[in-house]
Structure 1
Amino acid sequence: MFTIDKASPDALFEQIKTGLRREIASGRFKPGQALPDEGSLGEQLVVSHMTVRRALVELSREGLLRRISGKGTFVRDAFAPQPKTRRGAIAVVSTVDPAERASLYYHRMLQALLTGLEETGTPLAFRTVRQPYEEFVAGLRADRSLRALAVVWASDAELLRHLAKLPLPIVLLDSASPPQPRFDEVVQDGEAAVYAAVDYLIKLGHRDIGLI
């Protein structure tokens, strides 16, 4: 395994990317082969797992690696379709009270979303629902970077009515559905719901997905 030079002016994650490229080019890691997990790589290279993760995510975006949730990171076949990336942030828009955002449930839901988006190279941003809803939804409508929305824990019928007017695919997660919904899917299983929603929207061909 290659080593990291902490005295080098090059960023640690860039050194990891360079080292992994060389390992793959030399044949140590072959197409379809799994790389060591982030923790193991971090221990071997004496860097944090977050530094390793950044390197792996960027190599995935470049098409060299493939990250599969729950399974690991694999060397991508040179002839496999390369992931498409899109500029612009994904809006995570929440109705959750600030005090509740520290909860494990909310944290794991966001982590599940991040894991799904990492595989597509999709960036993420955060917003908070505000009133009047009409102005808030107008702002979403004007945001051309959004291609779909996931609505989390929304029980206000007025908010849902305004959201239903948006010309976007919308998935409800642990949210109350209005009497006459035009939403694409409703799921009620917390963390699993996030995985299901992201997978559903990606299969529709969407890459810019907002979580509300």
Structure 2
Amino acid sequence: MEAVRGRLEELTMATTVECVSLNPNSAQKPESKKASKPLNQQLLERGVAIRAIYQDSHRHNPLLQEYATWMTDLGGEIRTAPTVPMLMIVYDRRVALLPIDPYDSSKGAQEVHAPGIVTAVYGLFAQIWSTATPLGRTPERDEAGLDPQLRELARLLAAGSTDEMAARKMGVSARTIKRRSAELMELLDARSRFQAGVIAAQRGWIDTSDTSTRRADTALAPHPA
């Protein structure tokens, strides 16, 4: 991690236009935020645009809320999404830093310069950014009364995710998943999670014909050591 932090400093100094990042809950450790704060300040003071995506659950974390407010006040842009697939940083759309292990950023990072890979990684960021909610704005509910977190939960449960799997992907506790699942069933007037999944499919939120994806989601989901 010391080598990674040293390289982050070098890439910060070389960046002139934009720095974007995905920031899952699993990567939000106090020491990481302490190390990144002066680097982000350097970028913003030089007029470099910073755009960062965190998970919706960050909205209830006082430490991360304070950090996000600090960066926003300096001109950074922050949005949140229900799930963030992995930690990543892209500098000037030409260099990407990706974790060696997507589920454990402490194992180090790999630096990527290949244009095809960097473009794909940046495209992932751009896609999530386009539907994420700006910090300071309450996530909007749709015509059915679902906010983005509930909609994502419906998708995960319909795909066969357990409470523990959904909690890990969404960065919340299993207790929160149980509470929100109950809210989802009430909103959909469903008597079970299975029925909620059927109703969600009928409304076009998920593709029930994509059984191979659902099987893979369940079979290949990471399990805690």
TM-score normalized with structure 2 length = 0.26
TM normalised by structure 1 equals 0.27
